[in-house]
């Protein structure tokens, strides 16, 4: 295999190894790799994603699929669904790619399209009451919030009284102007770097990329201020954005996400918190919110 092959596993995600480290911290859970946990998970630990909450964005290089977080941002979700039904983004463009930050897409003002049933501005949906939200908590401290964890498949944070979605890698948000109510979801961005958690509670985080993230994260960086492309030629044109519910069944992808309130997901967290693969000399014993994988699969 060569040096490259021999070293392949070393800084891998350890999907293939499951040896117990002799100095791994005690845990009641059996030692299983991430792959084993997923293979052995019962069907009831998975959630079929509602096709009405899926955006299929077709780029020249392939397809990106985004899940909208209807529970946390219902107004934005409804508006983005309306814009998709109006084919608002067909012919829009990737306008910005800023290193270690975000890739953003939308339309220029002079190129506006009818928004159909969509609204131009929405009330802010930056957080919501903590009460009544079921959060699978992480126990390690977080730099930004008193409590972090997962709610219905999304990374979230809270201060005890309010909760909000966290700007982890792959999360999608709705751009806004200088006032709180100026966002509509017409202009969207995705996080492509170390989690910019300072955006939490400052802007509506509306969903996350389930498939095709690599098409966005490898966009050539823009050379203008804030990573905007300086010429139209540098932009990537978006062919179309459709809701899964509007596509013919043959074009839908039946995605499932691991339920974040399931025992299998608790095992996933544990397997990434304590690294029992033999390669790890220090089994770690800690994990950050944005380092927990959120498994997605295609329903067979």
| Near a second copy in 84-113, by CB under 8 A | 95-96, 98-102, 104, 106-112
**Is residue 202 at the binding interface for a second copy, with CB under 8 A as the rule?**
yes
Closer residue to a second copy (CB): 58 or 278:
278
List the interface residues with a second copy, window 227-246 (CB under 8 A): 228
Residue 147: partners with Cβ closer than 8 Å, 6 or more residues away: 135, 137, 157, 158, 159, 160
x/- contact string, 112-141, with a second copy (CB under 8 A)?
x-------------x-------------xx
Smallest separation, CB 164 to a second copy (Å): 10
What dihedral angle (degrees, nearest 10) is formed by the CA atoms of 45, 71, 167, 192? Answer: 70
Q: Is the dihedral of CA 10, 12, 18, 20 positive or negative?
A: positive
Q: How far is the CB of 258 from a second copy (least distance, A)?
A: 17
291 contacts a second copy (rule: CB under 8 A):
yes
Site for a second copy (CB under 8 A): how many residues? 84
Half-sphere exposure for 97 (CA within 13 Å, toward CB) = 17
Q: Minimum distance from CB of 170 to a second copy (Å)?
A: 7
Find the binder of a second copy among 142, 147, 246, 263 (CB under 8 A): 142
Which among 135, 124, 145, 128 has a CA at the least distance from the CA of 202? 124
What is the longest distance spanned by two Cα atoms in the chain?
Answer: 64
Which lies closer to a second copy via its Cβ, residue 45 or residue 205?
Answer: 205
Write out the binding residues for a second copy, residues 250-279 only, by CB under 8 A.
Answer: 272, 275, 278-279
Q: Residues near 228 by Cβ (< 8 Å), separated by ≥ 6? A: 95, 96, 222
Min CB(240)–a second copy separation in Å: 19
CA dihedral 201, 113, 82, 179 (to 10 degrees): 20
- Considering only residues 6, 22, 39, 132, which one is a binding residue for a second copy as defined by CB under 8 A? 6
Whose Cβ is closer to a second copy: residue 151's or residue 174's?
A: 174
Q: Give the CA angle between residues 95, 253, 294 to the nearest 5°.
A: 75
Reduce the DSSP state of residue 231 to 3 states and report it. coil
Nearest distance in Å: CB 225, a second copy = 7
Separation of alpha carbons 154 and 152, rounded Å: 6
Among 25, 91, 177, 232, binds a second copy (CB under 8 A): 177
Nearest approach in angstroms of CB 177 to a second copy is 6
Continuous segment of H or E residues that includes residue 84: helix 74-85
């Amino acid at each position: 295999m060569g040096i490259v092959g021999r070293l392949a596993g070393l800084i891998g995600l350890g999907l293939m190894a499951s040896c117990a480290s002799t100095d791994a911290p005690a845990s009641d859970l059996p030692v299983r790799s991430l792959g084993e946990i997923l293979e052995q998970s019962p069907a009831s630990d998975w959630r079929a994603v509602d096709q009405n909450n899926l955006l299929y964005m077709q780029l020249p290089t392939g397809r990106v699929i985004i899940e909208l977080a209807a529970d946390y941002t219902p107004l934005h979700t409804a508006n983005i669904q309306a814009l998709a039904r109006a084919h608002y983004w067909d012919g829009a463009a990737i306008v910005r790619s800023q290193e270690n930050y975000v890739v953003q897409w939308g339309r220029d003002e002079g190129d506006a399209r009818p928004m159909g049933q969509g609204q131009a501005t929405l009330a802010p949906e930056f957080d919501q009451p903590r009460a009544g939200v079921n959060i699978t908590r992480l126990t390690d401290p977080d730099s930004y919030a008193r409590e972090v964890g997962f709610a219905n498949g999304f990374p979230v944070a809270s201060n005890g009284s309010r909760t909000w979605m966290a700007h982890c890698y792959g999360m999608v948000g709705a751009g806004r102007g200088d006032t709180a109510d100026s966002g509509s979801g017409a202009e969207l961005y995705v996080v492509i770097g170390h989690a910019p958690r300072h955006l939490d509670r400052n802007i509506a985080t509306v969903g996350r990329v389930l498939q095709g993230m690599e098409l966005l994260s490898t966009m050539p960086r823009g050379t203008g201020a804030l990573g905007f492309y300086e010429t139209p030629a540098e932009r990537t044109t978006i062919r179309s954005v459709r809701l899964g519910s509007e596509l013919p069944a043959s074009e839908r992808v039946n995605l499932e996400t691991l339920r974040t309130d399931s025992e299998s997901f608790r095992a996933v967290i544990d397997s990434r918190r304590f690294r029992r693969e033999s390669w790890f000399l220090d089994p770690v014993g800690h994990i950050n919110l944005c380092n927990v994988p959120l498994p997605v699969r295609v329903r067979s």
